[in-house]
Amino acid sequence: MKTTTCFAIALGLLAFALSGRSAQKKEMPAAVAQVAATAPIFQSYADLKWDKMLPALGADSPEISTLRVDPVTHATQLMVHTPTAIHIPKHWHSANETHTIIVGNVSFACDGKRVEFGPGSFNFMPAKMVHEAWLPAGSITFITVDGAWDVNWVDGPPTAADLTK
């Protein structure tokens, strides 16, 4: 049974990966989705795979590690690490988003209010709420979205001018 379950999970995840994880919502077969949705995931921080969020910023780009994407709802859990301090300009997401600060003191602003909070702090941003953030070098933030992960920039993505060294 374990081999069958692991094979079904691997097959489902491979199918999902090959779908391109784009905004198009491609559904897994129900049997594979059910197995993948109920299988536990254990990941060590040291084993996370990190990708550049903003490749144009090179080594200064925030890094993102996608921890899990629900095969049916596309709800996503991820972490963001910042090697360099950065201002993330105004943007919004199609789904509700939460942030839990793991490392660093992070500032968020929306609706004319700016709040700074540190490790263990949590916030919730409703879908389509425009917000911005200031992340210090070395920060780690755990993010969840209850749908597919996307970023919609109000005035364009961060540039080298947004890096605050």
pLDDT of residue 6: 38
CA distance 97 to 2: 34
pLDDT of residue 37: 63
CA distances from 42 to 5, 7, 68, 99, 149 (A): 16, 17, 11, 20, 21
Contact predicate 33/25, CB 8 Å: no
pLDDT of residue 8: 36
Domain chopping of the chain, boundaries = 1-40, 44-162
From 3.40.50.1100, 2.60.120.10, 3.30.565.10, 3.40.50.970, which CATH number describes the 44-162 domain?
Answer: 2.60.120.10
pLDDT in tens, 78-90: 999 999 999 999 9
Query: Whole-prediction pTM value?
Result: 0.75
